[in-house]
Amino acid sequence: MMRNRFSILLLLCLVSVMLQAQSHIFEDIEYSFTASGTAGGGDNAPFWFTSGRYGLSTRENYSGLFRAELHRNAESDSLHFWRVGYGVDLASPIYKNSGYFCIQQAYFDLEWKMLRLSIGQKERPLEFRGAASTSNDIIEPFPAPVLSMGGLTSGNNARPIPQARIEMPRFWAIPGTKGFFSFKAHLAFGWYTDARWQREHNDGTLNAYTSGSKYHSKALFLKFGNEKRFPLILSGGIEMSAQFGGWGYNLRSRETGIYYDEDMNNGIKSYWNAFIPGGGDSTDGADYSNASGNHLGSWHARLEWKDKKWSVAAYYEHQFEDHSQMFWQYAWNDMMLGFEANLPKNPYVSSLVYEYLTTTDQSGPVYHDHTLTVPDQVSARDNYYNNTVYGSWQHAGHVMGVPTLISPLYNNDGSLSVYHNRVKAHHVGLCGEPCSQFAWRFLYTHDKSWGTYDTPTKDPLYGNFYLVEATWKPRRVRGLSITGSYGHNDGTLLGESNGAMLTLRYSGWLNSTH
- Domain boundaries in the chain? 113-510
What pLDDT sits at residue 286?
Answer: 46
Residue 399, Cα to own-chain centre: how many angstroms? 8
Residue 3: the pLDDT is: 55
Say how far apart CA 480 and CA 505 lie, in whole Å: 6
Distance CA 148, CA 342 (A): 13
Question: How many Cβ atoms sit within 10 Å of the Cβ of residue 299?
Answer: 20
| d(C-alpha 328, C-alpha 317), whole Å | 15
State residue 490's pLDDT score: 97
Is the domain covering 113-510 a CATH 1.20.120 domain?
no
> Using CA atoms, how far apart are residues 457 and 60, in angstroms rounded to an integer?
24
pLDDT score recorded for residue 133: 39
Give me the count of residues in the chain: 514
Angle CA 126–128–133, to nearest 5: 45
Q: Is-contact 66 35, C-beta < 8 A?
A: yes
CA distances from 316 to 108, 111, 124, 234, 364 (A): 32, 30, 20, 12, 21
Question: Quick check: bond before 141 cis, omega within 30?
Answer: yes
Q: What share of the chain is helix, strand, coil (3-state, %, to 5)?
A: 10, 45, 45
Beta-bridged to residue 353, according to DSSP, are 340, 429
Q: What is the pLDDT of residue 28?
A: 85
Predicted model pTM: 0.89
Question: Cα torsion for 39, 44, 46, 49, to the nearest 10°?
Answer: 70
Q: How far apart are CA 78 and CA 80, in angstroms?
A: 6
The Cα–Cα gap between 262 and 342 comes to: 51
- Measured CA to CA, the distance from residue 57 to residue 45 in angstroms comes to 10
Which pLDDT does position 131 carry in this prediction? 53
Residues of the chain with pLDDT under 70: 1-24, 78-79, 97-99, 131-144, 278-291, 367-379, 512-514
Q: Which residues contact 156 (CB under 8 A, 6 or more apart)?
A: 52, 53, 54, 123, 125, 126, 146, 150
**Strands 82-95 and 98-99, how do they pair?**
antiparallel
Please tell me the distance from the alpha carbon of residue 283 to that of residue 292, in angstroms, as a whole number. 10
pLDDT at 138 (0 to 100): 40
Distance CA 498, CA 212 (A): 37
